Amino acid sequence: MKEKVVLAYSGGLDTTAVIPWLKETFDYDVICCCIDCGQGEELDGLEERARLSGAAKLYIEDIVDEFCDEYIMPCVQAGAVYEHKYLMGTAMARPIIAKKLVEIARKENAVAICHGATGKGNDQIRFELSIKALAPDIKVIAPWRDDRWGMDSREAEIDYCHAHGIDLPFGNDQSYSRDRNLWHISHEGLELEDPSAAPNYEHMLVLSVTPENAPDEPEEVSITFEKGIPKTVNGVEMKVSDIIRELNRLGGKHGVGIVDIVENRVVGMKSRGVYETPGGTILMEAHDQLEELVLDRDTMEAKKKLGSQLAQTVYEGKWFTPLREAICAFVEKTQEVVTGEVKFRLYKGNIIKAGTTSPYSLYSETLASFTTGDMYDHHDADGFITLWGLPLQVRAMKMNELKNENKK
Is there a catalytic annotation at residue 167? no
250 vs 208: CA distance, rounded Å: 9
Active-site residue identified among 69, 177, 265, 271: 177
User: Does residue 177 carry a catalytic annotation?
Assistant: yes
- Give how far Cα 342 sits from Cα of 92, 115, 290, Å: 25, 41, 7
Catalytic-labelled residue, pool 36, 53, 94, 272? 94
Of residues 29, 36, 123, 179, which has the active-site annotation?
Answer: 123
d(Cα 397, Cα 395) in Å, to the nearest integer?
5
Task: Provide the annotated active-site residues.
Answer: 14, 94, 123, 177
